[in-house]
Each structure stands twice: as C-alpha cells, then as structure tokens.
Amino acid sequence: MKLAILSNGNANYSTKRLVEEAEKRGHKVQVVKYKNCYLSLDDKHPDVYYKGEKLPKFDAVLPRISNGMTRYGCAVLRQFEMQGIYTPIASVAITRARDKLRAAQILAKYDVDTPKTLVSRNTSDIDDLLEQIGLPVIIKLASGTHGNGVILADTRKAAKSALQAFYLYNEDGTNILLQEFIKESAGTDIRAFVVGGRVIASMQRQSLDDDFRSNLHKGGMGTPVKLTDEEKKTAIKAAKAMGLHICGVDLMRSSRGPLVLEVNASPGFGIEKVTGRDVASKIIDYIEHNAPRRNGKDRIGA
Ligand SMILES: Nc1ncnc2c1ncn2[C@@H]1O[C@H](COP(=O)(O)OP(=O)(O)O)[C@@H](O)[C@H]1O
Ligand SMILES: [Mg+2]
C-alpha cells in the first residue's frame, strides 16, 4: 500500500511511530508536509504538488493536521478526497471537531452526554445564562486548544467581566461557550483513544498543581486507567457522532455518569508511553483493512 501521512514532519513522535509501523509491514510511506503543498483546482485533476512535483496516487491518506493549520490542512486533505483516495479521517469531520460549538451541537444531536453548555453573544443575556448554568462556571473559546482558552470563573462578577470583555473584543471572532463546571473531577479527565469503533487505549490525566485543566500540555500527568462499559460506550458513541474513525475522546467522570468534553481528530501518541499500548499498529491495521475496500468509493470533499 502507498500511504501518505499529512504531518508537520518526521520529528513528531506520532508520525515517527506511524511511519515505523507501516514500513515494518512493507508499505511505502511518504510524509507530506501539507503546509508546503500547493493545489491544482481543476475538477478533472485535483492534484497536489509537493516540492515542485505532482504527488502520486496514494492508496490511503492519514491526516495528522495541527490545530493551527486546520484550514489549509483540510484543504489539502479535501484534494485527496476529491481524487477518491481513502482516508479514515475525513476533512469535514476534522473541521467539525475543531469548532467546540459545532462539535457540541453534533454531540447533542446524537444524544451524547456532555456538560450543560450555553452560547450567546449578548452582554444582556449574561445574568440569565449564569442563572441557568450556576457557579463556578467554565468559559470556553470555541477555537481553543491545549487548555488555552478555557477559563474557570468562581464568582458572578468574574464571569460577567470576562464575558463582557470577550463579547466586546471579539465581535466577529470565535464563539464563546458557557459550561457547567464538573467539580467532582476537577483537575482530571480521561482520554479514550478510539480506532474503528473500539477503545484501544485509555488514560487518566491529572493536573500536577491546583489547575483545573488536566491537559498534558499544561503539565498534566497521564496514568493508565480501566474504563467502565458505560465510559467505553460513551467514547465510541461520541467518535461515531463526530464521524471520526480514529480519534481521542476526552471524558469527565461526573456524578451523573461520563460526560464528553471533546473529540480530538489528531490525538497525541503520548498515550502509548503511558499505557504501553501499540496505538500506531492498531491504526495501520485499521487502514490496511479499510483502504482496499473503500478506495475510489468515497469521492467526497470540497
Ligand atoms: N466543564 C468542565 N468542568 C471541569 N473541568 C473542565 C471542563 N471543561 C474543561 N475542563 C478542564 O479543562 C481542560 C481543557 O478543556 P477542553 O474543553 O478539553 O479544551 P482544550 O481543547 O483546550 O483541551 C479539560 O481537559 C479539563 O481538565
Ligand atoms: Mg482537551
């Protein structure tokens, strides 16, 4: 199989592992730095060029697109989708997952349990919103990532002034979500790595200081954790709702059961080191199984 990995390069641990695993099985792998690709917008030949050369017809494309490059990365991926090349992670699923408001709407539509969430753009609504959500409250920027853009406001005054500032200076920018604070598990969350409708690895993340955010990028620490059946089912349901066959589902353990925080379209591979599970090999297994069946059948994109 000829496999393209859309990535920022071989220096990423995840990319290195995927290349290693695919090559071990005799596949031909090309790491394509999507940032440096250019695209030919011709309906009969939606080609992708890289370093001055047209890229060959791949059997599968695996996107590992970073948050800061979602738009261009997905445009490159769409180009491959227009060629009918199989991808386990569709561009539309990535753009949906990267917008917390859109993702929350999709999860609600498919009846996936999440913390209670409200969205508004008007200062005059703030009292009403806080009345409904209660305090403390989580304020989230729809486009935030790595824990940046998530605020915990303890008091009505703090929440109100933060929201007023956001509404005022963010006229046409990212949307702002107000979310119920899940205090039972503040400072911890669970990452369930889902591949092809199965949880293949799971870890708990714990912030090491008094931060309420448990992101590893914020200094959180991961430990292996065994999920309950309900947690597994919730993670799988969330992955399915988002249309992401390979993803990292973040859950919080709450007094009313597991709640989904978000579904990550390019989950990190730090979970391999924490759990000892071979995530890369499960992903290559999945692609090996699905690419021959789906190739040419999923002419989607654009
Ligand atoms: N509603 C909430 N209640 C309690 N903690 C939360 C809540 N939402 C987020 N957190 C904490 O903040 C972290 C980051 O939030 P998340 O929504 O995953 O944004 P990001 O995309 O920046 O990771 C979570 O991993 C969790 O530890
Ligand atoms: Mg997160």
Q: Is residue 253 lining ligand 1, measured as CB closer than 6 Å?
A: no
Residue 230: how many other CB atoms lie within 10 Å? 11
* Centroid of ligand 1 to alpha carbon of 100 (angstroms): 11
Q: What is the pLDDT of residues 225-270, one digit of tens each?
A: 999 999 999 999 999 999 999 999 999 999 999 999 999 999 999 9
State yes or no: pLDDT of 17 exceeds 80: yes
300, pLDDT greater than 60: no
Nearest CA to ligand 1 atom 12: 213
pTM: 0.94
Rounded to an integer, the average pLDDT of 124-133 is: 92
259 lines ligand 1 (CB under 6 A): no
The yes-or-no verdict on residue 150 having pLDDT over 70 is yes
Tens-place pLDDT, residues 49-61: 998 899 999 999 9
Which of 146, 213, 259, 266 maximizes ligand 1 atoms within 8 Å of its Cβ, making it the mutation to test the pocket? 213
Above 70 in pLDDT, residue 209?
yes
Q: In this structure, what token pair is assigned to residue 257?
A: 């059961």
Ligand 1 centre and the CA of 288: distance in Å? 34
pLDDT score of 169 more than 60? yes
The letter for the amino acid at 83 is: Q
What is the structure's pLDDT at 61? Answer: 98
Whole-angstrom distance, CA of residue 263 vs CA of residue 92: 14
Q: Other CB atoms closer than 10 Å to residue 144's CB: what's the count?
A: 17
The three-state (H, E, C) secondary structure of 44-99, written as one string = CCCCEEECCEECCCCCEEEECCCHHHHHHHHHHHHHHHHCCCECCECHHHHHHHCC
- CA of 109 from ligand 2 middle (Å) equals 21
pLDDT level of residue 172 (50, 70, 90 thresholds)? low
pLDDT of 302 reads: 55
The predicted pLDDT at position 299 comes to: 54
Burial level of 122, CB count in 10 A (0-12/13-18/19+)? Answer: exposed
Mean residue pLDDT of the chain comes to 93
* pLDDT higher than threshold 70 for residue 176: yes
pLDDT band (50, 70, 90) for residue 134: very high
Supply 61's token pair: 């494309």
Q: Which pLDDT score is estimated for 215?
A: 84
Domains and CATH numbers, the chain: 2-87 (3.40.50.20), 96-112+184-282 (3.30.470.20), 117-181 (3.30.1490.20)
Please tell me the predicted confidence (pLDDT) of residue 296: 65
Cβ atoms of 300 and 246 closer than 8 Å = no
Task: Show Cβ contacts of residue 181 under 8 Å, excluding neighbours closer than 6 positions.
Answer: 115, 135, 136, 137, 138, 152, 212
Q: Quote the tokens at residue 130.
A: 């806080």
Higher pLDDT, 254 or 172: 254
Top mean-pLDDT range of 106-110, 162-166, 167-171: 106-110
In the prediction, which pLDDT does 294 show? 67
